[in-house]
Amino acid sequence: MGECSTYQYRILVVDDEPDVLLTLKIVLENNGFKIGAFNDPVLALRNFDAASYDLAILDIRMPKITGLGLSKQLRKIDNKVKICFLSAISNYEEFKRYFPEINEDQIIVKPIDNQSLIDKINKIICNS
């Protein structure tokens, strides 16, 4: 459960890799989060409503819509949802070259261990 409140935070997870998506869903649900999981960014967008999620975790590289493109579309529907990105790029300077508009606090580097993932999500939800 999120450490800053007893509220059950709702998280949208979008990743085109089914195994990554399932793992994230299980880990997050086991830690008290309510999860909406999609491996198709178009379907995720179609099912997204304002105020339906507290946080969106988006894979950067996906077919049809990139994580960055999806984040812009989600923000048009709900400008309060917090967004972070999954990326295999572990060097922040390299990441910043490709995605200058994303700050380091919004990045979850794959692979990530379960406790680090939960700590990062709690930090994003509770502190920003």
Q: What is the pLDDT of residues 73-125, one digit of tens each?
A: 999 999 999 999 998 887 778 778 877 888 888 889 888 899 999 999 988 88
> Has residue 24 got a pLDDT over 90?
yes
The model's pTM is 0.90
Provide the mean pLDDT of the chain.
89
- Which fold, 10-127? Rossmann fold (3.40.50)
The average pLDDT across 32-51 equals 96
The reported pLDDT for the residue numbered 128 is: 54
CA dihedral for 76, 42, 15, 8, sign (positive or negative): positive
The reported pLDDT for the residue numbered 2 is: 42
Cβ neighbours of residue 104 under 8 Å, at least 6 residues apart? Answer: 92
Q: Residue 34 is encoded by which pair of tokens? A: 């309510």
> Has residue 127 got a pLDDT over 70?
yes
Cα 34–Cα 125–Cα 50 angle in degrees, nearest 5: 65
Cβ neighbours of residue 78 under 8 Å, at least 6 residues apart? Answer: 48, 49, 50, 51, 52, 53
CA atoms within 13 A on the CB side of 90: 3
